[in-house]
Amino acid sequence: GQNIDQPTEMTATEGAIVQINCTYQTSGFNGLFWYQQHAGEAPTFLSYNVLDGLEEKGRFSSFLSRSKGYSYLLLKELQMKDSASYLCAVRDSNYQLIWGAGTKLIIKP
Amino acid sequence: TAGITQAPTSQILAAGRSMTLRCTQDMRHNAMYWYRQDLGLGLRLIHYSNTAGTTGKGEVPDGYSVSRANTDDFPLTLASAVPSQTSVYFCASSAGLTLHTDTQYFGPGTRLTVL
């Protein structure tokens, strides 16, 4: 079966750095997405990786290793507004997105 | 621009009743999707449409039907609601022009409770 694993919850301090990991086992791979979802709101797109390596976008970076079935989202200079759930999704061989359950990130002052 | 709108925002429905969740996008996107999101689970695809006039089944299609009469609208119908269909429903759309980089954009969601 297809599986996306992320930690359920993480806690970090304002101003610090946090890394959210995602491991996947899917039938085929056609890209990996990270979305942010604030409580009670819709998911919003953060990043996309299809080749190995690091993609940097401001305070957020996303890394992919296809051989290891592994990605991480790195958030720097954490702000209180970064408190949200972060969803990892993989596009499979049928070009459908398979979603992880999400990681709830709690930021403390 | 509005992007994607969904209606209603929330609804309480008696078991056995039917209901249609509405979704409209103004981005002229080819592809549209319906997901349900339940606590502790990832988003699960119910139905999708790659272009107007076509639809396909996702991971959890039973008890739901869709239609795609035009580019903008993609309604989801529950013919006879059951309590297990209590969930938050998200509609999404994507340009659908490229397979790899195609990014989905989500509506605000409909919170449905079936009693």
Convert the pLDDT of each residue in A57-86 to its tens digit: 999 999 999 999 999 999 999 999 999 999
* pLDDT 10s digits, A39-56: 999 999 999 999 999 999
Give the length of chain A. 109
Question: Going by C-beta distance under 8 Å and a sequence separation of 6 or more, which residues neighbour residue B14?
Answer: B81, B114, B115
Question: Going by C-beta distance under 8 Å and a sequence separation of 6 or more, which residues neighbour residue A97?
Answer: A33, A89, A90, A91, B43, B45, B104
Q: What percent of chain B has pLDDT over 90?
A: 88
Q: Which of B44, B100, B104 sits opposite A30 (nearest CB)?
A: B100
Other Cβ atoms less than 10 A from the Cβ of A36: the count is 20
* CB < 8 Å to B99, chain A: 30, 95
Give the pair of three-digit tokens for residue A72.
Answer: 């991480």
* pLDDT 10s digits, A85-95: 999 999 998 88
How many angstroms away from the CA of B76 is the closest CA of chain A? Answer: 18
* CB < 8 Å to B61, chain A: none
- The mean pLDDT value of chain A amounts to 95
Please indicate whether, in this complex, the C-beta atoms of B109 and A42 are within 8 angstroms of each other.
yes
